[in-house]
Structure 1
């Protein structure tokens, strides 16, 4: 559904919801591929995508990138989606418990479409005495920091929030100077990168 045309300088960040607003998004599909690729490069052979239902918008692009990389490289993979409920992480806990054989988790690489779900899964694996990253490597998506000096713990696909902010300011200033919006360049897709943390092997 398209929203009304903006009557004042406006833009959208991270997700497209209208054909009338300039939009700045990360390359979510490439990010999903990169997550699977980084796990593969570090020796993971059976991968798991972890998220929460329903999967849509940017999450679907991330999942599809992950799936396509796995299929193109003949990697075994599975999808684990928790139910959309208040204590959804209990589904992760049950999944881990049901996929442990003699204390060994049946996947050696985990990728999630958010840092939040990746972190939840990481702590539950530790609770079940699964070694991260020795036995299972984990990559999230975002690599956001609350403060500049905050250390990176979770390996993740990083969105360039600095570049996003810079382009956002440029586009808003352009709108202030002119009412005309370039309809042929409404969407700006920014590249993503991999950030090493302690949940993957170096």
Structure 2
């Protein structure tokens, strides 16, 4: 995932978001203070209230932004080169979802730490639910676009397929954080899905 140096980003809003991501990765949701955000972003306390309404709203927005950047990365992986077979398209998607864990280590921790915080913070819960909804909608559009490019008919509702792929990615993310060596890669995931499909058909 691309990183933006907070003090080199565009306006105050972008700098605050980048600084919030950096603070969340370093300190976590509960331990990040408004002064931490100001220091990391090179802004001031008033700018937090002006652009986001408060510290918690800024942190919530930063967590949601990380999810959306990941979705954009998947889309880029799927469509940045020539049309492929359905299996190759799935491998591209799973590569962008699974084979990036090592590169995204701090962001993964940030994402996971957002879940328990969301259970106690209704606004954050809503933000994450909206981020997932946008991710599912984007994924559905990607699948329909891929099917059109490949000239194939989808065997199931794309919304269901996207939800299952997200669930696989999220589950593997948790496994990778605990034991990277024991976590299957994208090709193994696709091989397993293909084998399972043939077995239960």
Tell me the TM-score normalized by structure 1: 0.29
The structure that is helix-richer by fraction is 2
Give the structure, 1 or 2, with the largest relative contact order (CA under 8 Å, sep 6 or more).
1
The structure that is strand-richer by fraction is 1
